[in-house]
């Protein structure tokens, strides 16, 4: 059911408490930008363990100003498959958690990540590119979002509704690679919350994400038999040819499954051209709009793999999962979109929520049964490239929006329990 005009007016009207929070945030605009720039100077590429370990204490220190318990948790090593199809282990940085007032009547889960896609020694410069924008690694995705989260919480906790709302924050070191180490922390925090807030960047226009597809990462490991390609080619069994047959089969799956996409990101294997290759690894990504089609995609791949493994002398296996479940629109999500849009009216903003094939920690929060908004971070664009930029004026704008959402959750203008109760209803 849509919001009534009365509901919209209540949410769009600013109270004196709202005005105080917004002024506090406006006064911190320059400090927010400066903090983000300093953080962006530290490389925290997902596979740069030392950079992540260096950065995590800065987060602990920054969030310690809140009335909350701040902790850094070492994570268990995660599995990686190397180019030879062998299992290796990688230990990422710690998960930082912040917990406040767990017995308050309204509970919010917040998530964000401090890793970036940029390896150490790659994209590291920060520059003013004019038109009110800065260019630099992680400014938008998402060190700027973490700063927005922190400043909104500081403004909220300075107000009168603090004891009515508790929160649990998970700051991950591995979002860009799938949250394989941090996912249990997110699930634990999200399952007892009413509402989720995630601080991925919004689009430059301010548009936000609506429904999200689910995402999978799979490695398919093929083993054959090596032999000399000149003296005894018939004695060999080519793992690369098996991989090639498998990939052409994936192409047919991609063409035949509506709204599901299969992307072969890489094929690793083989060696010198005078050796029949005995190993190959196919790296595959999948996006699916709902669980039914996600399950169908996996079954189809299992069937295709079984067919390829009938080749003489070829063995293989499938490693991976749908690490991000689909996040479709439902009644709870639609209601939350409506109340956030109405709240943005207090800032003179009108929001749009666009469905996307992209994924984030909001998918995980949804899997835990909690409706969530997942693009509350700064406005920006060209993320995951050396052209990444952030819109400077959006720091105060987006922190202000979050502070207003928190005020409305705490003072009852937004009924968090009711929104969560809608999770099992159709949109």
Residues of the chain with pLDDT under 50: none
The pair of three-digit structure tokens given for residue 288, joined into one six-digit string: 């699916």
Q: Specify the pLDDT at position 271.
A: 87
Contact 194, 405 (CB under 8 A): no
Q: Specify the pLDDT at position 2.
A: 84
Contact 151, 25 (CB under 8 A): yes
Q: Specify the pLDDT at position 258.
A: 86
| Start-to-end Cα distance in the chain | 9
- What single DSSP character describes residue 182? T
The pair of three-digit structure tokens given for residue 17, joined into one six-digit string: 């408490």
Q: Which DSSP string corresponds to 98-150?
A: EEE-TTSSEEEEEEEE--BS--TTSS---EEEETTEEE-TTIIIIIHHHHHHH
Q: Specify the pLDDT at position 427.
A: 60
User: What global pTM score does this model have?
Assistant: 0.93
Q: Specify the pLDDT at position 332.
A: 97
Order of all β-strands in the sheet with 133-135: 127-130, 133-135, 389-391, 379-381, 202-203
Q: Specify the pLDDT at position 146.
A: 98
- For residue 129, what are the contacts with CB-CB under 8 A and spacing of at least 6? 135, 389
Question: For residue 405, what is the enclosing H or E element?
Answer: helix 394-411
Q: Specify the pLDDT at position 1.
A: 67
Q: How far apart are CA 417 and CA 427, in angstroms?
A: 17
User: Which residue carries 């899997």 as its tokens?
Assistant: 367
Domains defined along the chain, listed by start:
5-212+327-421 (3.40.630.10), 214-324 (3.30.70.360)
Q: Specify the pLDDT at position 410.
A: 98
Cis peptide before 142 (omega within 30 of 0): yes
Q: Specify the pLDDT at position 330.
A: 95
Contact 419, 332 (CB under 8 A): yes
Q: Which DSSP string corresponds to 282-345?
A: EEEEEEESSHHHHHHHHHHHHHHHHHHTTSTT-EEEEEEEEEE--B---HHHHHHHHHHHHHHG
């Amino acid at each position: 059911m849509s919001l009534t005009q009365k509901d919209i007016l209540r949410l769009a009207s600013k109270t004196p408490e709202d005005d105080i929070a917004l002024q506090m945030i406006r006064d911190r605009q320059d400090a927010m930008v400066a903090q983000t720039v300093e953080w962006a100077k530290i490389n925290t590429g997902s596979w740069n363990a030392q950079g992540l370990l260096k950065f995590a204490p800065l987060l602990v220190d920054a969030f310690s100003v809140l009335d909350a318990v701040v902790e850094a948790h070492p994570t268990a090593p995660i599995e990686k498959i190397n180019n030879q199809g062998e299992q290796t282990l990688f230990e990422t940085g710690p998960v930082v958690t912040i917990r406040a007032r767990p017995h308050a009547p309204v509970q919010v889960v917040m998530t964000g990540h401090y890793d970036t896609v940029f390896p150490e020694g790659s994209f590291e410069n920060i520059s003013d590119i004019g038109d009110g924008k800065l260019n630099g690694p992680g400014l938008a995705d998402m060190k700027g979002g973490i700063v927005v989260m922190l400043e909104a919480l500081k403004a909220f906790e300075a107000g009168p509704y603090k004891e009515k709302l508790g929160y649990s924050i998970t700051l991950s070191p591995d979002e860009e690679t799938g949250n394989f180490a941090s996912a249990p922390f997110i699930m634990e925090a999200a399952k007892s919350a009413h509402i989720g807030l995630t601080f991925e960047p919004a689009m430059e226009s301010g548009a936000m994400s609506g429904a999200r597809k689910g995402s999978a990462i799979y490695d398919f490991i093929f083993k054959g038999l090596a032999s000399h390609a000149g003296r005894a080619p018939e004695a060999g069994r080519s793992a690369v040819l098996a991989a090639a047959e498998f990939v052409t089969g994936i192409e047919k799956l991609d063409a035949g499954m509506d709204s599901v996409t299969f992307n072969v990101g890489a094929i690793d294997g083989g060696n010198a051209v005078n050796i029949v290759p005995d190993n190959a690894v196919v790296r595959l990504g999948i996006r699916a709009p709902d669980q039914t089609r996600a399950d169908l995609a996996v079954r189809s791949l299992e069937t295709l793999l079984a067919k390829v493994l009938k080749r003489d002398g070829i063995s293989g296996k499938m490693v991976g999962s749908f690490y991000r479940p689909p996040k479709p629109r439902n009644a709870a999500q639609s209601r939350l979109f409506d109340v956030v849009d109405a709240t943005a009216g207090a800032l003179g903003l009108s929001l749009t929520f666009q469905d996307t094939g992209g994924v984030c920690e909001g998918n995980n929060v949804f899997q835990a049964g909690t409706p969530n908004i997942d693009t509350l971070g700064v406005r920006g664009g060209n993320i995951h490239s050396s052209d990444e930029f952030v819109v400077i004026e959006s720091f105060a704008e987006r922190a202000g929006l979050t502070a207003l959402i928190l005020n409305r959750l705490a003072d009852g203008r937004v009924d968090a329990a009711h929104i969560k109760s809608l999770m099992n209803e159709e949109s």
